[in-house]
DNA sequence: GCGAAGAGGCATAGGCGTAT
DNA sequence: ATACGCCTATGCCTCTTCGC
C-alpha cells in the first residue's frame, strides 16, 4: 500500500497529456453550478488545451500560463475575456493538482499569474425614459404574438427582470400583497432571491396576453406559431433578445441595441434620468454606490 | 416553403466575496 | 475603501429545427 502511495506521489507530473487535461476539465465543469458557467469555462479550457498541445511540450506551470496570457493579449481580446480565460486555467490547475496529476508547486505558481488590468469602466448604453416609452408604445396588430411580446417588454421594463428570470416565470410566482401585485421569491443571478413589485400597467398588459393565450397555470411565456396558436413549455432567453431587438427596430431606436438590457441598473438609470448630472451620476465608477443603488428600480411604475 | 424559435459559438459585462 | 478573482449573466451573430 505504502509503495502504491509513493508511486502515485512520484507520478504527479509537470507536463500534462490530453487525457489528464480532459479529466481535469471534466472535474472543473462538474464543480460549476450554472449552465452558462459550464459553457463558458468549457470553451475557455478547450481553447487553452488546444493552444498548450500545439506548443512545444513545456511544464504546465507559471511560465506556460504567462505565455498563454501573452497569446490572449496578442489576439486583442478585452481584459474581461482574458481574465475569464485565466480563471478557467487556474481552476484547471487546481483540479489537476487535487487529482494527483500535477505537482502542487506548479499549481501554486499558476495561481500567482495575475489577470489583465481593467482600465476604467465602460459607461454602458442605457435606455432613457423616452426610449422606454417608445418601446412600449410600438403599435400592436392585436395578434397573440404581439400581446406576448408587449407583455415581455412590460415586465422587463416595469420590473427590471433579467431574461433568464422572465423566461422561467410561472403563474404561481405572482401574488397580491396589500392590493399590489408582486413576483415573490424570484430566483435571480447567482441564486439570489428577491421579491419584485409589479406595476399596475404591466399587470394589465400581462393579463391581456394570458387571456389571449388562455394560460391559467404553469409557465407564463410560451411559443406562438405563425398562425397564432400557443405551444411549447416555455420560451428561451434567446427569444427574449429577439423580441427586444424587433421592438427596438419598430420603435426606431435600434442603435441603442448594444445594451445592458435585463440588468436592474438599466431601470435605475431610467429612474434617475430626470435628475441626471455628471456629478450625481458617478456610480459607474463608484462600486459602493453602485451596489446600494442597484435595487431602487421598481418605482418606474410611472413609466407609461 | 416560410416564419418562429432554438442551438451553438464566441466575446464581454455584471456582481459578489475577499484579499490587500 | 478598493482592486481583484471568480462565477454567472448577457450580446449578437449564423445555422438549424420545427410547426403550419
Q: Name the least confident of A21-35, A194-208, A272-286.
A: A272-286
- Mean confidence (pLDDT) of chain A: 74
A247 sits within 7 Å of strand C by its CB: no
Mean pLDDT of A275-291: 30
pLDDT tens figures, A50-96: 888 887 777 888 889 989 998 888 888 888 889 999 999 999 998 88
Q: Where are the domains of chain A?
A: 18-111, 129-294
Confidence label for A204 from pLDDT (cuts 50, 70 and 90): very high
8 A C-beta contact, residue A257 and residue A120? no
Give the CA distances from residue A200 to residues A4, A148, A155, A188, A283, in Å, rounded to whole numbers and listed in that order: 70, 17, 11, 22, 30
Q: Which carries the bigger pLDDT value, residue A246 or residue A207?
A: A207
CATH number for the domain running over A129-294: 1.10.443.10
A120 CA to B12 C1' in angstroms comes to 15
Which nucleotide is the nearest neighbour of A246, by CA and C1'? B4
In 3-state terms, what secondary structure has residue A181? strand
A217-CA/C3-C1' distance, Å = 47
Q: What CATH code would you report for A18-111? A: 1.10.150.130
Same fold, A18-111 and A129-294: no
- CB-to-strand B under 7 Å, chain A 191-230: 192, 223-226
Strand B and A297 CB separated by under 7 Å: no
Average confidence (pLDDT) over A197-219: 89
Distance C11 C1' – A175 CA (angstroms): 32
Inter-residue long-range contacts of A273-277, CB under 8 Å, 24+ positions, other chains counted: A273/A128, A273/A129, A274/A129
Q: Is A123 helix (H, G, I), strand (E, B) or coil?
A: coil
Asked if pLDDT for residue A222 goes beyond 50, the answer is yes
Amino acid at each position: 500500500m505504502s509503495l502504491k502511495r509513493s508511486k502515485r506521489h512520484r507520478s504527479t507530473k509537470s507536463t500534462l497529456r490530453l487525457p489528464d487535461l480532459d479529466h481535469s476539465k471534466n472535474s472543473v465543469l462538474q464543480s460549476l453550478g450554472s449552465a452558462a458557467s459550464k459553457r463558458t469555462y468549457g470553451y475557455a479550457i478547450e481553447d487553452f488545451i488546444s493552444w498548450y498541445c500545439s506548443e512545444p511540450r513545456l511544464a504546465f506551470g507559471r511560465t506556460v500560463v504567462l505565455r498563454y496570457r501573452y497569446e490572449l493579449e496578442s489576439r486583442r481580446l478585452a481584459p474581461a475575456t482574458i481574465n475569464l480565460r485565466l480563471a478557467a486555467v487556474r481552476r484547471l490547475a487546481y483540479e489537476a493538482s487535487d487529482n494527483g496529476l500535477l505537482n502542487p508547486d506548479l499549481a501554486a505558481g499558476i495561481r500567482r499569474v495575475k489577470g489583465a488590468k481593467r482600465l476604467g469602466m465602460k459607461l454602458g448604453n442605457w435606455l432613457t425614459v423616452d426610449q422606454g416609452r417608445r418601446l412600449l408604445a410600438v403599435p400592436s396588430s392585436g395578434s397573440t404574438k404581439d400581446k406576448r411580446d408587449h407583455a415581455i417588454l412590460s415586465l422587463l421594463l416595469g420590473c427590471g427582470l433579467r431574461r433568464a428570470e422572465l423566461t422561467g416565470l410561472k403563474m404561481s410566482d405572482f401574488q397580491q400583497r396589500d392590493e399590489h401585485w408582486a413576483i415573490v421569491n424570484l430566483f435571480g443571478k447567482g441564486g439570489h432571491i428577491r421579491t419584485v413589485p409589479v406595476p399596475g400597467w404591466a399587470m394589465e398588459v400581462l393579463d391581456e396576453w394570458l387571456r389571449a393565450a388562455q394560460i391559467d397555470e404553469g409557465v407564463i411565456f410560451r411559443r406562438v406559431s405563425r398562425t397564432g396558436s400557443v405551444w411549447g413549455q416555455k420560451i428561451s432567453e434567446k427569444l427574449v433578445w429577439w423580441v427586444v431587438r424587433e421592438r427596438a427596430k419598430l420603435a426606431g431606436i435600434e442603435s441603442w441595441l448594444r445594451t445592458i438590457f435585463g440588468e436592474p441598473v438599466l431601470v435605475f438609470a431610467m429612474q434617475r434620468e430626470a435628475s441626471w448630472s455628471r456629478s450625481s451620476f458617478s456610480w459607474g465608477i463608484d462600486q459602493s454606490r453602485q451596489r446600494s443603488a442597484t435595487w431602487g428600480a421598481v418605482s418606474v411604475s410611472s413609466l407609461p
